Amino acid sequence: MQALTQRAKAVDRKPMTWWEKLYLPSILKGMAITFGHSFKKRPTINYPEETRPFSPVFRGLHVLNRDEEGRERCTACGLCAVACPAEAITMEAAERLEGEENLYREEKYAAKYEINMLRCIFCGLCEEACPKDAIYLSETFAPSNYTRKGFIYGKDELLIPHPIQDPEGYAKAKGLNN
C-alpha cells in the first residue's frame, strides 16, 4: 500500500539487545531528562500576584461610563439590550428632574440598569451598539459570588467611579495607570 504522506516510520521489531534489556541505561537517560527539566523556565503565572498581559481589545466585565464632569452617559435607549445575543441586559428609563443636571448628561437616564453576568457571553456587542459611549468592557474579569443573585450586577457595581470625587478609582477603572 502506498503511504499518503512521507511521515510514516517503520516500527522497529528487532529483539532487544542485552544492553537494552538491562533497562538501566535508558532509566538513567530518562532521569537525566527529568533532572534537566528542573533547570527549565517555568511557564507558571502566580495569578493574584502576577497577571497575564491582556490585549488592548480584551473584553472583561462591563463598566457604565461617565463623562469628564462625572455625569452618567447612559440614556437608557435600550440599544445594548437589543443588541445583546444572550439577553443579559435589562433597564428601566426615567426622566431627569430639575436640579439633576450634574448627575445625568441627557434628559433621560437609566434608573435601573442590570447585567446578568452569568448570561453574558462577553461578546462586546453592547459596547458596539451604544451610541453614547456609555458602556464598555473593562479588563476586570473572573467575578465571584456566593449566590446566583449576586451575579446580577446593578448600577452600583457597574458605574465607573466619579472622575472628580474619586479620581484615583476613575483612572484605575479606565486603565490609565498601566
**Minimal distance, residue 17 CB to another protein, in Å:** 16
**Minimal distance, residue 14 CB to another protein, in Å:** 20
Say whether residue 102 binds another protein (CB under 8 A): no
Say whether residue 31 binds another protein (CB under 8 A): yes
Sole binder of another protein in the list 15, 43, 53, 131 (CB under 8 A):
43
Residues within window 63-82 making contact with another protein, judged by CB under 8 A: none
Count residues near another protein (CB under 8 A). Answer: 14
Say whether residue 17 binds another protein (CB under 8 A): no
Say whether residue 15 binds another protein (CB under 8 A): no
Per-residue 3-state assignment (H helix, E strand, C coil) for the chain: CCCCCCCCCCCCCCCCCHHHHCCHHHHHHHHHHHHHHCCCCCCCCCCCCCCCCCCCCCCCCEEECECCCCCECCCCCCHHHHHCCCCCEEEEEEECCCCCCCCECCCEEEEEEEEECCCCCCCCHHHHHCCCCCEEECCCCCCCCCCCHHHEECHHHHECCCCCCCHHHHHHHHCCCC
Say whether residue 178 binds another protein (CB under 8 A): no
Q: Which residues bind another protein (CB under 8 A)?
A: 27, 30-31, 33-35, 37-38, 40-44, 46
